[in-house]
Structure 1
Amino acid sequence: MTEAAPAVRTADGVRTGGSDAGRTARVTAKLAVLWHRLPFTTTVVMAMLMLSVATGTLWRAAEDHTAYPLVAYGLPSLEAGHWWTLVTGPFFAVVPLFYLPMVGSFALFAGIAEWRLGTRRAMVVTIGGQLVSVLVALQFLALYRGSGWVWADRLATTMDVGFSGGALFAMAVASASLRAPWRLRVRAGLCVYAGVAIIYVGTLADLVHFFALVLGLPLGRLLVGPHRVKEPGRPTLRERRLLAVSGLLLVTVAEVVMYFVPGDGPFGSSADMSPSGIELAVLCVVVLPVLNGLRKGSQFAWRWAIGLTLFAMAQVLLIGGLIAVAHYLGGDFDTETPSLSLVDNLLWTVEFVLLIGARDAFRAPSRRRRKRLTRVGPGPAIARALLGHNGGSTLSWMTTWPQNSYFVTADGRSYLAYQQHAGAAIALGDPVAPDGKGARAITEFAAMCEDSGLVPCVFSATATTIEVTRELGWKHVQVAEDTLIDLECLEFRGKAWQDVRTALNRAKKDGIEFRLVRLAEQPEAIVEQVRSVSEEWVSEKGMPEMGFTLGGVDEAMDPATRVGIAVDADGVVHGVTSWLPVHIGGGQVGGWTLDVMRRRADGFRPVMEFLIASACLAFREEGARFVSLSGAPLAHSPRSGPAHAVERALETLGALMEPYYGFRSLHAFKAKFQPRHEPLYLTFRDEADLPRIGLALQRAYLPKTGLLELAKMARKR
């Protein structure tokens, strides 16, 4: 018999088979969801595709069809009385290759607008924006036709198709509803594209795009509605840097466009100004590192950018001098190319103004100078002293491990431990600070990162820190879940504790003894057995032992760390756990956090249940109020609501790592002890920082494992 295909539940709750019919049903369900959320965008995109197939324009250029003048919009069409072309033109592309960018950009921009503004408002904005931008562009050409402007005369005779004007208008309007810094990023990107296209290419479509943004950006606040407008506030350092980067990117892209796509724009032909291949290569080699340095706030990159802009601005004086000399001598001088050259250099002048205006945003010293200026920071000893005095979270003892660096506030009373990887500074856990002073530590840490060109974030932060970072405009996602056991009323009674009671009873029957010790004070034979058990556990994983928030035997050797071991009558160690102190201030330890968990493969099977339960009883006898079983990375209880896109990505990563490290299995194991849960978060400035933060976390947890090895691991799964 053949095995039946597994059933699948689709988005609308219908169960289907795993056959072709089932896959078709799932695709249909997804289309239904898309239609429900974005009906206008979906309808227009489907209409574009169906018309392209019905008319053959998907494989044959629309401008080659005899009916093109009856479909395309332009001055000739309107003057011939073909007013309907304003309605028919948006559904086609000039040539088949243009369908991909035209349909794709409409789906993206109009889809975002519909998602942000609602279907009715998005329809009005997109359709109205298309009509207005086309009509304004045609009226502009009608006014300047016959004035001797060659470019305007040429465009007045051309026709075009496409819905890109409406899509850009809708995106420009919807950008007013975006929060900082995404609002400025989107607008800067749109302006760079439209500015380069209209100046250096100058087609009718580029003119329509130009007016779509000229009209859409100022009207954004009015058209999105007051309840959707995000107040811009004062530009941050990052936004000022972005403006400078956008300006330099614009002039660089302009040179690339002149080389690969020379055109006859409103200021003359760019073919005559096109740089040679060698010149373009040299420009890119110089500008790309400068762009990256400006993005990080580098002083060195800012100085290089100033030099480049001054060099370009000097060309304005040279060209102006040549024009004056030519007129003085009465010679003929081609004024088209100089006019484009003057515009090109005017952009460099604007970039110079942006750089000077944002000079305070570029304070990060070079790496070499940073090493010279960096004074020796506090070590783990000072961190332990502050932690003992102020108290901390259940993860705070991990900040005293030697691989961390420390940021201490100006008053010297608080600190954040962090690791620096891939241009990001990953702070570990909540600030260790006196009550009410954590906000100052976070704010000063973020400022230090800004000045150093680092991406700041806090990993495994509690809700207390999230409240602080929310005030800074940061985002957060849950990355783990702390599991806490209150010891005061702990009793292993009831069905839920059956596994724990069984482990305790079996250990007593089999002669397994629990010892709560300082590992550094144990006989060498015990220490060697602990190391052997740990090495055996690591070798079974097929991957290196992780670090950062996961300690090992070396950390367990710390005299401040308590270690629970299960030893039989023959002195054989069957399992080991280590417990980190949780300071509550005033030099007192109020609880303990589980770190290392290792068991002998052929030893006492329920040894972990036995060790944890025995440790809980021993700590309660000593007066501890709670223990934390710590949080397994990338594992948590089921969510009650929809997951953020970043959270879904982390869940996928957790599933990828599960066969190797078993984080989710560990989280499920801890549920045997009926803990209460407190979420732990990753908090960061915005989503654009996540790729760098992800790479930094990979290097923090697996410093000896490269991306290639991780990719091989994913492929084997």
Structure 2
Amino acid sequence: MRRLPLTSALVVLILTLSVVSRALWDPLLGRPLHASVTYGLPALEDGSWWTVVVGAFFAVKPYQYVPILLGLVAFGGFAEWRLGTRRTAIALLSCHVVAVLGTAGLLWLTRHHGYVWTTGLARVRDAGPSAAFLGAAAAASVTLSPPWRGRLRTLLVAYVVLFVIHMGSLADVEHVVGVAFGLWLGPYLVGRSPSFTTRQLTRRDFRLLACAFFVVAAFEVILHPFTHAEGPFAVTMSAQARAKELADAGLVFGLVQVVLWVWLARSLYKGRRRAWRWAVALLVAVLAVQVANYGWMVVVGEPGLLAAGWDIFGNCVGLSVLLVGRHAFRNPSPRRARRTSGSLVAPADDDQRTRATAMLEEHGTVNRLAWMTTWPENRWFVPATQRGYVAYRVHTGVAIGLCDPVAATEVERSSLLAEFADAVHGQGLVPCLFTVTQEASQHARALGWHSLQVAEEACIGLATLDFVGKAWQDVRTALNQAARLGVHLRLGALADMPRGLQLQVKAISSDWVEDKGLPEMGFTLGGVDEALDPRVRVGLAVDPDMTVHGVTSWMPFHASGGGEPAGWTLDVMRRLPGGFRYSMEFLIASACLAFRDEGCSVVSLSGAPLARSNDGDDDASLDRGTLDAFLDRLGASLEPYYGFRSLHAFKSKFQPQHEPLYLVFPDEAALPRIGLALSRAYLPEAGVRDLVTLARSGHR
């Protein structure tokens, strides 16, 4: 009550008035008090203007007090917590008044024009503060950071729109007006003008949109029997007839629909390719039936065209999301049935990924970044001998191998590279390998290929690590500041950590992605999905209040010969905005000490893409001009957005040894295509506008 005095006072006042007026157990309808405390167009036409405010403290029926009080506590309390008491009072009052008067005005304009729904609502009275607290919550959403701001707004809008469509009561219309006004009012309450901004949708956005579409579809199936015949999309059957039809014949079909939509929603959220195909096929089939039915209704003059048109429009939106965002649904199916044997462009499956992971753990390799080869969006070339593999992705006719071939010996790795090249050439593709070590670079040159340094890997030897001397001053400061503030390292599998910590990690990651001016990058850069692998260890900077200030993830490195991890490789680095300033220095230094105590010999801080401090051991015969200029321009253009070169400089605080990483390829004539394939690999979701942005920033 001290923290939320306004919400507490309103709850007490509404409960007190419900007892005094006996409305808590005796419905207002049919009593003289009904005309004095209920608002709506009839009340305003009767001159009862005070009902606009007074009606907010009552409910027409006793059972309505349950959602009113719960909603006031949840939504009103949230608004007061985020906005403060004074601004929440303004939001509640203004949203309620605008919702009531705006709805009354809308009904006054549309009644007696042949629309049965609005004509009927123009004679109805209502009571309660639901439009007030929903609108206030919408206004308070402006104080949230992405992605929570967008998620709350989406939920509020989806709720009010679905209910006004399917229920169509006076309160539902008021909710729509109240939430719309709250969204507009929110920025003014925090001292800025409202603005509408757009950004490129990421893979996660498309997955969430597709998932939300099918969740909404399942919810609509549940609501369908209760849709009122006098609602905005009225049809010929009454609500009672719908319910009877469902009970008599449609219950099983409805349950099957709900289960199917929920399964599709869950699978699409995981980015499953098979679920995407099923979803597209089902929506196309449903749309074909709906369009044919709509045409028949037009021919015979059947009522309900508006409802049928709404269904067609909604399914078209869902299909558009799936088709436009098809690149977000590349994760392989868990079954082998959909794998086309022998094709390098065929989709992989979870069985292949499992075998590749087992080979990496058994045979090992020399590339400390090799765990990236187990990520689900890769494909895997495995020779008939099953002695190793090459992970790769296909873009613009180029098969881009990721890291060195995985095999136990150098001879086997060299042989794998040659077999991979032959297989790729045999299917009309251009082969290349990206971020390989000097060993693979030498093997490639032996095949007549060229090599070009594209990054540097920062490695820390743990045997002599002590953080002593002037060069380690920044690291010591981070450790000392963390100890003073009680910030400690929590190291382990993210999937095994408490749910609250996992949610904070996802929020920090989402916030980091939202702040970028370009889409989320992929290929050699992992995210939360990759960090959830149980064999990946995540380091969290956690304070005594269990607030996560920073996140790092560490991929295992299996040295040549396999066995237990010989070291760990840094992948994700993300910090809470406004959190502990030295989070990254603290996390990396603390993890290094923990790994040293476990007996590991080396830690890799990974490579900063498109950043380097020397020319390395490039092929002296190679005319580097075309690709080198492209990579330099791409690196400079991406620097303001992703900070790769700044990251390269940051890692120098840990006094690492720098080892070059290379791109190897067979033919200089393929450099333009390889450059395009690399840009598509890193930015698979980038559109024309993003490329224009890159070009302009690079030119500046």
TM-score, normalising length from structure 2? 0.53
Residue aligned with 1:469, SS? strand
What is the aligned partner in structure 1 of residue 349 from structure 2? 370
Q: Deviations over 1:89-127 (max 9, x none)?
A: 111122222212111112211211121122211111121
Per-residue CA deviation, residues 674-707 of structure 1 (Å, 9 max, x unaligned), is xxxxxxxxxxxxxxxxxxxxxxxxxxxxxxxxxx
Alignment-mate amino acid for residue 370 of structure 1: D
Whole-Å separation in 1 of the counterparts to 2:59 and 2:268: 38
Alignment of 1:602-621 (within 5 A): none
Question: Post-superposition shift, 1:584?
Answer: 6.1
Contact 1:298 1:364 in 2 (8 A): yes
Structure 2: segments with no counterpart, 5+ residues: 336-347, 370-390, 392-401, 404-433, 438-456, 460-490, 506-520, 542-548, 554-571, 605-700
Q: What is the CA distance between 1:45 and its match in structure 2?
A: 1.4
Aligned to 1:411: 435
Given that 2:38 and 2:125 are in contact with CA atoms closer than 8 Å, whether structure 1 keeps it comes out as yes
Q: How does 1:129-168 map to 2 (within 5 A)?
A: 129-168=95-134
Which residue matches 2:252? 278
Contact 1:249–1:291 under 8 Å retained in 2 = yes
Displacement after TM superposition at 1:159 (Å):
0.4
Distance (whole Å) between structure 1 residues aligned to residue 458 and residue 253 of structure 2 = 50
Q: Tell me which of 297, 316, 323 is aligned to 2:297.
A: 323
Q: For 1:570-589, what aligned pairs fall within 5 Å after superposition?
A: 580-581=598-599, 583=601
In 1, are the aligned partners of 2:287 and 2:312 still within 8 Å (CA)? yes
Q: Aligned partner of 2:275: which letter?
A: A
- 1:179 correspondence with 2:145: yes
* 1:59 CA displacement: 1.9
Q: What SS does the corresponding residue of 1:242 show, helix, strand or coil?
A: helix
In structure 2, relative to structure 1, the CA distance for the partners of 1:419 and 1:324 (3 Å cut) is same
Of 534, 539, 542, the residue aligned with 1:460 is 539
When residues 143 and 461 of structure 1 are mapped into structure 2, their CA distance, relative to the original with a 3 A threshold, is closer
Within a 5 Å distance, the mapping from 1:309-320 to structure 2 comes to 309-320=283-294
Cα drift, residue 157 of structure 1: 0.6
Aligned length: 425
Distance in 2 (CA, whole Å) between partners of 1:213 and 1:142 is: 21
- C-alpha distance in 2 between matches for 1:364 and 1:422: 23
- Indicate yes or no: 2:25 matched with 1:87: no
1:330-388 Cα deviation digits (max 9, x unpaired)? xxx342x2321221222112222222232222222112353344262464688797789
Note if contact 1:315-1:345 (Cα within 8 Å) is conserved in structure 2: no
Separation in 1, partners of 2:70, 2:282: 36
1:442-453 to 2 correspondences below 5 Å: 447=526, 450=529
1:340 aligns with 2:307: yes
Q: Which structure is higher in RCO with an 8 Å CA cutoff and minimum separation 6? A: 2
Aligned-partner Cα distance in 1 for 2:436–2:492: 16
Say whether 1:293 aligns with 2:267: yes
Q: 8 Å contact 1:179–1:230 — kept in the other structure?
A: no
Distance 1:161 1:90 in 2: 6
Amino acid of the structure 2 residue aligned with 1:367: P
CA pair 482-360 structure 1, distance change in 2 beyond 3 A: closer
Given residue 435 of structure 2, which amino acid in structure 1 is its aligned partner? D
One-letter amino acid of the structure 2 residue matched with residue 49 of structure 1 = L
Show the counterpart of 2:513: none
Deviations 1:442-478 (A, max 9, x none): 97676476489979985334688559633597999x9
SS in 2 for 1:265: coil
Q: Does 1:220 align with 2:244?
A: no
Q: Secondary structure at the match of 1:62?
A: coil
2:188, 2:194 within 8 Å by CA — same for their partners in 1? no
Q: Structure 2 vs 1, CA of residues 370 and 207 (structure 1 numbering), >3 Å: closer, same or farther? A: same
Letter in 1 for 2:258: C
Read off the aligned partner of 2:316 and give its amino acid letter.
T
Partner residue of 2:213? 247
Shift of 1:277: 0.9
**Alpha-carbon distance change, 446 to 135 in structure 1, aligned in 2, over 3 angstroms:** farther
Paired position in structure 1 for 2:319:
352
- In the aligned structure 2, how far is the partner of 1:456 from the partner of 1:235? 30
Paired residue for 1:121?
87
> Deviations along 1:630-653, whole A, 9 cap, x unmatched?
xxxxxxxxxxxxxxxxxxxxxxxx
Q: 1:471 to 1:357 in 2, by over 3 A?
A: farther
Counterpart AA for 1:360: H
Structure 1 residue 219 displacement after superposition:
4.2
Letter in 2 for 1:298: R
Counterpart position of 2:515: none
Q: Return the alpha-carbon distance in structure 2 between the equivalents of residues 291 and 474 of structure 1.
A: 35
Q: How many Å separate the matches in 2 of 1:108 and 1:168?
A: 10
Q: Percent identity?
A: 29
**TM-fit CA distance, 1:152:** 1.0
Contact map agreement 1:297 1:452 (CA 8 A) in 2: no
Name the CA shift for 1:237/1:475 in 2 (closer, same or farther; >3 Å): farther
CA distance in 1, matches of 2:195, 2:5: 23
Q: Distance in 2 between matches of 1:422 and 1:313?
A: 43
Which residue pairs with 1:438 in the alignment? Answer: none
Q: Is the 8 A contact 2:39 2:51 kept in 1?
A: yes
Tell me how far apart the structure 2 counterparts of residues 136 and 456 of structure 1 sit (CA, whole Å): 57
Give the distance between the partners of 1:474 and 1:292, measured in 2 at CA: 34
Q: 1:85 to 1:321 in 2, by over 3 A?
A: same
8 Å CA contact retained: 1:200, 1:262: yes
Once the two structures are TM-superposed, the CA of residue 263 in structure 1 deviates from its matched residue by 4.8
2:328 aligns to what? 361
CA offsets 1:214-237 (integer angstroms, 9 cap, x no match):
333344334433499998754433
In 1, the alpha carbon distance for the partners of 2:579 and 2:242 equals: 46
Cα–Cα, structure 1 residues 320 and 108, in superposed 2: closer, same or farther, change >3 Å?
Answer: same
Q: Distance in 1 between matches of 2:79 and 2:279?
A: 36
Q: Is the 8 A contact 1:273 1:341 kept in 2?
A: no
Q: Residue 608 of structure 1 aligns with which residue?
A: none
Q: Is 1:237 aligned to 2:203, yes or no? A: yes
The one-letter amino acid of 2:598's match is L
TM-score (norm 1): 0.51
Could you tell me which amino acid in structure 2 is paired with residue 47 of structure 1? L
1:185 touches 1:242 (CA, 8 Å); kept in 2? Answer: no
Residue 585 of structure 1: CA displacement?
6.8
Residues 117, 412 of structure 1: CA spacing in aligned structure 2 closer, same or farther, 3 A cutoff?
farther
Q: CA deviation at 1:162?
A: 1.0
| Cα distance change on mapping 1:41 and 1:203 into 2, 3 Å | same
Q: Helix, strand or coil for the counterpart of 2:208?
A: helix
Q: CA deviation at 1:419?
A: 6.2
1:196 is aligned, of 150, 153, 162, to 162
- C-alpha separation in 2, matches of 1:243 and 1:474: 29
Contact 1:313 1:345 in 2 (8 A): yes
Q: CA shift at 1:199, angstroms?
A: 1.1
Q: Aligned AA for 1:197?
A: F
Kindly tell me: are residues 280 and 114 of structure 1, through their superposed partners in 2, closer, same or farther at Cα, counting changes over 3 Å? same
Q: How does 1:415-494 map to 2 (within 5 A)?
A: 447=526, 450=529, 459-461=538-540, 469-470=573-574
Taking structure 1 as reference, are residues 228 and 376 closer, same or farther at Cα in structure 2, changes over 3 Å only? Answer: same
Describe the SS at the equivalent of 2:26. Answer: coil
| Mapped pair 1:268 → 2:234 | yes
Say if 1:176 and 1:230, in contact at 8 Å, map to a contact too.
Answer: no
CA contact (8 A) 2:493 2:536 kept: no
